[in-house]
Amino acid sequence: MHVNTQEYIDKLINDLKAKDSHEIEFIQAVEEFLPTIIPFLEDNPTFIEKNILSLILEPERVIQFRVPWQADNGDWHVNRGYRVQFNSAIGPYKGGLRFHPSVNLSILKFLGFEQIFKNSLTNQPIGGGKGGSDFDPKGRSDSEIMRFCQSFMTELQKHIGPDLDVPAGDIGVGAREIGFLYGQYKRLRQSDMGILTGKPVGFNGSLIRTEATGYGLVYLVHHLLKDKGDSLKDKTVKLSGSGNVAIYTIEKIQELGGKVLTASDSSGFIYDSEGIDLKLLKEIKEVRRGRLTEYIEQRPNASYQTGSVWDFSVQADIALPCATQNEINAVQAEILVKDGIRIVAEGANMPSTNQALEVYQAGNICYLPAKAANAGGVAVSALEMSQNSQRLSWTRHAVDENLNLIMKDIYETISETAKRYATAGDYAAGANIAGFAKVAEAMYAQGLV
């Protein structure tokens, strides 16, 4: 069968748009992905002949369930819970749970789809999945969060297992939530430490898991700069977010001699020309679960501004979006180009719109996509799974060294793959092709059913 690859890709996208027109974020992720893998498909026509792409766009299984829970004031609420088991070709489904009011099937399918290739790039034996709920944790007490997590896990436990599907955290799901989810699983199914990752270190979690996404992001940028004979020393950074990924990105940037000028939450952002005071930021976000406005009360030289940090001009060398999907549009990307930003590396999942990506390319910004750049988190989750199976706890140093090696390996893989199939420096194509090749080969080898 001879098929024009571009026509084949266009048809897949059009079919998807016709069938699931409301899944805007999922369509966006697919539209970014498919065109970049054309050169690989042309080299490997079997994958077109066997229609592996249609298969890979369809989750193996989607589970949706209701989550009833009671608020402290006695009111009863019902939220939607989901688990998208997207692809298990190279290992058990692996990916986080997101609790945020914006969660719907489109968001979880885009996240699950990206997770397949991200997990493949880590070279760990993990498939791709994602789950969560449209539950809004903001302003909820510890007991409300606990009751919600218990109700969510009461249903989810029927569908997961250490060799089947291993969830973890994402936006709105941190150590506290993982603790409650784990406790409920144990209550219902007996102890099984390998059922979730991102567990607190005191009960079978891995050292460095909390830091892993942020550290990994910085390691990847470090390896890119090293390859160009440069380093992070004295580099300035425009960063968004103030959650787990942002905090440990700031920590590692500072350790390697760089300076982070901004951080943000859903209401606004702080600008600190002397560099973010990490101790203060951690105290506000991790201890008090407070808002960023509290930062300027103690740092009079810093400023706070409502709105998106990406709407404002900040002269810096590197931009690290660490908040959420679609936080940078084309107009905001133009501001990055004008401000002289040289590198955009994504700590969040799909923080740049596809139009923003075009602006990066036209403006010669070096772009490290989320699939590669934030893979450190899930990579250390895979190391946590290994430790749980071994019933051993590795040292901080051992996990950190492994993480750094995995990120170095990812940099080399995406860089070599870009040179071979696309153009040198097209790390988006490099990540998509390298991530896809391994999964597609595994699917083909296992027989198409």
Q: Which residues are catalytic?
A: 130
Minimum CB–partner distance for residue 309 and ligand GLU (Å): 21
Q: Which residue's CB is nearer to ligand GLU, number 205 or number 258?
A: 205
User: Considering only residues 170, 211, 265, 272, which one is a binding residue for ligand GLU as defined by CB under 6 A?
Assistant: 170
Q: Which residue's CB is nearer to ligand GLU, number 25 or number 272?
A: 25
Site residues for ligand GLU, 413-442, by CB under 6 A, read none
String of contacts with ligand GLU for each residue 180-209, x by CB under 6 A: -----------------xx-----------
Site residues for ligand GLU, 300-329, by CB under 6 A, read none
Which residue's beta carbon is nearest to the bound ligand GLU?
Answer: 96
Determine, following the binding rule CB under 6 A, whether residue 216 of this chain makes contact with ligand GLU. no
CB neighbour list of residue 153: distance below 8 Å, 6 or more residues apart: 180, 181, 184, 185, 188
User: Considering only residues 27, 84, 103, 168, which one is a binding residue for ligand GLU as defined by CB under 6 A?
Assistant: 168
Q: Where does this chain touch ligand GLU (CB under 6 A) — which range of 236-244, 263-271, 356-364, 374-382? A: 374-382
Site residues for ligand GLU, 4-63, by CB under 6 A, read none
Q: Which residue's CB is nearer to ligand GLU, number 377 or number 430?
A: 377
- Walk across the sheet containing 268-271 and list its strands: 262-264, 268-271, 303-306
Minimum CB–partner distance for residue 128 and ligand GLU (Å): 10
Minimum CB–partner distance for residue 65 and ligand GLU (Å): 20
Distance from C-alpha of 288 to C-alpha of 301, rounded to nearest angstrom: 22
Q: Which residue's CB is nearer to ligand GLU, number 347 or number 430?
A: 347
Determine, following the binding rule CB under 6 A, whether residue 349 of this chain makes contact with ligand GLU. yes
Site residues for ligand GLU, 76-115, by CB under 6 A, read 94-96
Determine, following the binding rule CB under 6 A, whether residue 377 of this chain makes contact with ligand GLU. yes
Q: Where along the sequence are the contacts to ligand GLU (CB under 6 A)?
A: 94-96, 168, 170, 197-198, 349, 377-378, 381
